[in-house]
Structure 1
Amino acid sequence: MSKLQAPIGVFDSGVGGISTLRTLARVLPQEDFIFYGDSANAPYGEKSSAEVCVLASQVMVQLKAHTVKAVVIACNTATSAAKQQLIAANPDMPILGIEPALKQAFDAGKQHILVMATPLTISLPKYKAQVARFEERTHVYSLPCPGLADRIELGHDGIEQIQELVDQLMAPVLNDPIDAIVLGCTHYPFIADMIQAKYDHPVTIYTGYEGLANNLAAQLKQRGLLRTENADQHIDFLSSRNTPDELALYQHLYDYGITQ
């Protein structure tokens, strides 16, 4: 296999990154992908930065063993905690990360932006610096969501538990004049409809996935690694919790999402 034909690696602490993968595969249909879910160590968002760096480095070893040509960190927490370390350790590998789409919401003119993310993402200097860029010109409400990514790992079987926790977490912000919600964890888009339904007025959801996909395409093109032909796109799934049930869950979420 030539480097041009090599797959793109995508990883997350668990199933959440599959929501990112779906957009990447749609925008880049000529590319093959390998998704690695570190479900045995999920969720990253309630660990320390040092722990996340170690786990992300271990995942990189697994993806490089499959000769990927680029890596997308489909985890906001891992992007904030480990992206720069991974880039430094892999200077010849394009490495991109998903980040809360706060700028996208701001550029759209939104004035009351709710950011839902893991406790670690919201606590890190990278996120705080991003908020500081906009908070003088818009209202940013930062909502840590402990436990939510973990419940989403259950898939469709956990719908009732997920709804219960969403109700509890969002109760403090339901009376605020929210006009945009930034989903700062790749698990959350699987329940975007559930989150959006908490408000009785129009609220726009932002994930940042389209921008990430376009950035990936641009970086691959710049390096001469962007495929222009591929009649049969392949998506392969790997997991640190390497069981048939886990891999079947990944495939189901990729095909149908969490509500079916």
Structure 2
Amino acid sequence: MEDNSYNKSKPIGIFDSGVGGISVLKKAIKILPNENYVYFGDSKNAPYGVKTVEEIKKLTFKSIDFLLSKDCKAIVVACNTATSAAIEDLRKRFKDLPIIGIEPAVRPAVNLNRKGKILIMATPITLAENKFNKLVERCAVNSEVVALPCAGLVEMIEEGIFEGNDIKNYLEKRFEGKIDKDVSCIVLGCTHYPFIKKEIVYIIGDEIPIIDGSDGTARELKRRLKESNILRSSDQKGYVKIFNSKDNSNLIDLSYKLLDLE
């Protein structure tokens, strides 16, 4: 039987267009605490949500190449926009590499079985992509789904703005006329958005459930590692290394701060 211990000790690569994917990294560490992780945020080119599909593909492949240079055994594309634009091409290029994407948590939203429409916050390009439309058609046949494009929100979060009047004013304008008794839940369709969940609750109240796709992505990661027999066998807590394309130590500090945020 082949000794797979070397491959098992290799890190998992997690990529996002900025600091947003830290929300997925947090969930992965919670579910798989003994794994090693390398995180890469492409904040230099954020936000991806305003770029063309071809630009997003090019940037995503470049970021994955960086993670592979760190000898990663699996890749998590912790960015809804990059997943929508590039995941199929990535899997064609790297056929033997476990590649896990993230998508808006439409199915979990439907499974709540709450009366009313499902409100999905996401970047404009995620909502415009065919992958999103197919997801809604597949998972929400009998549900009313309302897309809420949030242009400019990622930029604020990349600047380290997670609370305060700027975020509150932005959310109040976005939710104006959208929040009523007919809303069953809100889906956070961008990995940056969980970091402003407190401010969303402040605006809409705590009676409407707010969900995101990070839990499902982390569980799928565990399943794929197990399937490939590359789960790390050590009982020691793994390491986390964070890199960013923007030459700015503040972003690295912000990333570690978000990782420790409860």
Range 180-189 or range 165-174, more displaced: 165-174
SS in 2 for 1:143: strand
1:3-22 map, 5 Å = 3-22=7-26
CA contact (8 A) 1:31 1:230 kept: no
Aligned CA distance change for structure 1 residues 25 and 200 (closer, same or farther; 3 Å)? closer
Equivalent in the alignment of 2:215: 210
Find the aligned partners of 1:138 and 1:209 in 2 and give their Cα distance.
Answer: 22
**Equivalent AA in structure 1 for residue 167 of structure 2:** I
1:74-113 map, 5 Å = 74-110=78-114, 111-113=116-118
Find the aligned partners of 2:159 and 2:206 in 1 and give their Cα distance.
Answer: 29
Of the candidates 140, 149, 162, which is equivalent to residue 154 of structure 2?
149
What stretches of structure 1 of length at least 5 have no aligned partner? none
Find the aligned partners of 1:60 and 1:216 in 2 and give their Cα distance.
Answer: 16
CA contact (8 A) 2:8 2:233 kept: no
TM-score (norm 2): 0.93
Cα shift at 1:140: 0.9
CA contact (8 A) 1:152 1:158 kept: no
What stretches of structure 2 of length at least 5 have no aligned partner? none
Cα shift at 1:227: 1.3
Aligned CA distance change for structure 1 residues 141 and 221 (closer, same or farther; 3 Å)? same
Equivalent in the alignment of 1:180: 185
Equivalent in the alignment of 1:248: 253
Find the aligned partners of 1:175 and 1:51 in 2 and give their Cα distance.
Answer: 38
Equivalent in the alignment of 1:50: 54
Range 149-158 or range 188-197, more displaced: 149-158
Equivalent in the alignment of 1:169: 174
CA RMSD of aligned residues (A): 1.7
How many residues align structurally? 257
SS in 1 for 2:40: strand
SS in 2 for 1:100: coil
TM-score (norm 1): 0.94
Range 70-79 or range 197-206, more displaced: 197-206
* Identical-pair percentage: 37
Q: 1:211-241, CA deviations, whole angstroms, 9 ceiling, x for partnerless residues? A: 2111111111111101132413211100000
Find the aligned partners of 1:200 and 1:194 in 2 and give their Cα distance.
Answer: 10
Runs (4+) of structure 1 exceeding 4 A deviation are: none
